[in-house]
Amino acid sequence: MKWLYDFSYLTRAIHEGLSTRFEPGTVVILEMVLVGITFMLLFALLGLVLVYAERKVSAVIQQRLGPMRVGKWGTAQTLADVIKLLLKEPLINKDADKFLFNLAPFVIMIAAFMAIAALPFAKGLHAIDFDIGILYVAAVSSLGVIGILLAGWSSNNKYSLIGAMRSGAQIISYELSVALSLLTIVVLTGSLQLSIIVESQANGWWIFKGHIPAMIAFVIFLIASTAETNRGPFDLAEAESELTAGFHTEYSGLKFAFFFLAEFANMFIVAGIGATVFLGGWMPFHIGSWEGFNAIMDFIPPIVWFFGKVGFMIFMMMWFRWTFPRLRIDQLLTLEWKYLLPINLMNIVLMAFLSLMGWHF
């Protein structure tokens, strides 16, 4: 069970096992394939679990039961939905730009895959550890909007186009807030590398160590990242009541499933970034010098901590989504440019001051 606490034992064992059998070049390719398959399985699993969780959370919040018929407590409902989506006919609009139409879902999925590669899941379980990790993730996670714009443009449908354009305006605005709120913590860590950011939280998470500015940054991150994933009160891009389904109106079957999966994958990614930067990634919860308490917390494997924190962040996003009414486009931009951005800039100055004076823990 040693590998559960430090995954480098497992990864090194796999690497050595492969190295004895194949040449170095083949080993690299095989490892890449292995990592790719792992992430694909992770996404498939995440899709199944998160769709079910979303439906159940929304149901209980609205005093309903949610899916209850397929399997015990409806647990097999998403599996049944997947089979239904696989069997559906992939329709293409007659006047659609067929190449871009088919390309769009893949662009979105590729963006999600690129972003998840840089996330540290547990000790030693980290596909690529860039030294500009946060910059990379912030840059790549907003690439998904290209897929949305392509989908909206190529559908040859005015609702799709309006949805896609709204999504573009939204991501350009909110990407600023996401990056700036992450920068607030980077001021403290002094590094963009995600593994170093996680290591720096061994004696306490940044949200506690950074006092008020870190809390403000966390709230801003929660709001802006919800907007960036086109979810919750910011789902203007698909606004069911105004634009039928926005950019994915014309999609069906497996391609629609890709958009659906990408939404949940993006949600997982932003929740993962938030958990890594603000809530300590896979670091257990430690309180100062309480040795016994800290030992118990250390006993819980890091991967459980990571997924627990991500689960908490995702639950917050679901809570937002099923509580708040959808914003109008002008309200959306007012919120970003008149409130979040100025507060964020002031917050960074405050954090820099705090960091200079050494007032953080």
For another protein, the binding residues (CB under 8 A) are 57, 60-65, 68, 319-320, 322-324, 339, 343
* Smallest distance, another protein to C-beta of residue 323, A: 4
Identify whether the C-beta of residue 206 lies closer than 8 Å to the C-beta of residue 188.
yes
What are the DSSP calls for 208-271, one per residue?
Answer: HHTHHHHHHHHHHHHHHHHHHTT-GGGGGGT-HHHHTTGGGTT--HHHHHHHHHHHHHHHHHHH
Task: Pick between residue 64 and residue 328 the one whose CB is nearest to another protein.
Answer: 64
179-210: buried (b, 16+ CB within 10 Å) or exposed (e) per residue?
bbbbbbbbbbbebbbbbebbebbeebbbbbbb
Task: Pick between residue 3 and residue 320 the one whose CB is nearest to another protein.
Answer: 320
Identify whether the C-beta of residue 323 lies closer than 8 Å to the C-beta of residue 61.
yes
DSSP state of 280: -
* Smallest distance, another protein to C-beta of residue 326, A: 13
Task: Pick between residue 123 and residue 321 the one whose CB is nearest to another protein.
Answer: 321
* Smallest distance, another protein to C-beta of residue 346, A: 12
* Smallest distance, another protein to C-beta of residue 240, A: 19
Task: Pick between residue 104 and residue 224 the one whose CB is nearest to another protein.
Answer: 224
Q: Which amino acid, one-letter code, is at 255?
A: K
Give the E-state strand segments of 123-186 in sequence order: 125-126
Task: Pick between residue 339 and residue 361 the one whose CB is nearest to another protein.
Answer: 339
* Smallest distance, another protein to C-beta of residue 77, A: 15
d(CA 77, CA 69): 8
CA Rg value for the chain: 21
* Smallest distance, another protein to C-beta of residue 314, A: 14
Task: Pick between residue 20 and residue 63 the one whose CB is nearest to another protein.
Answer: 63
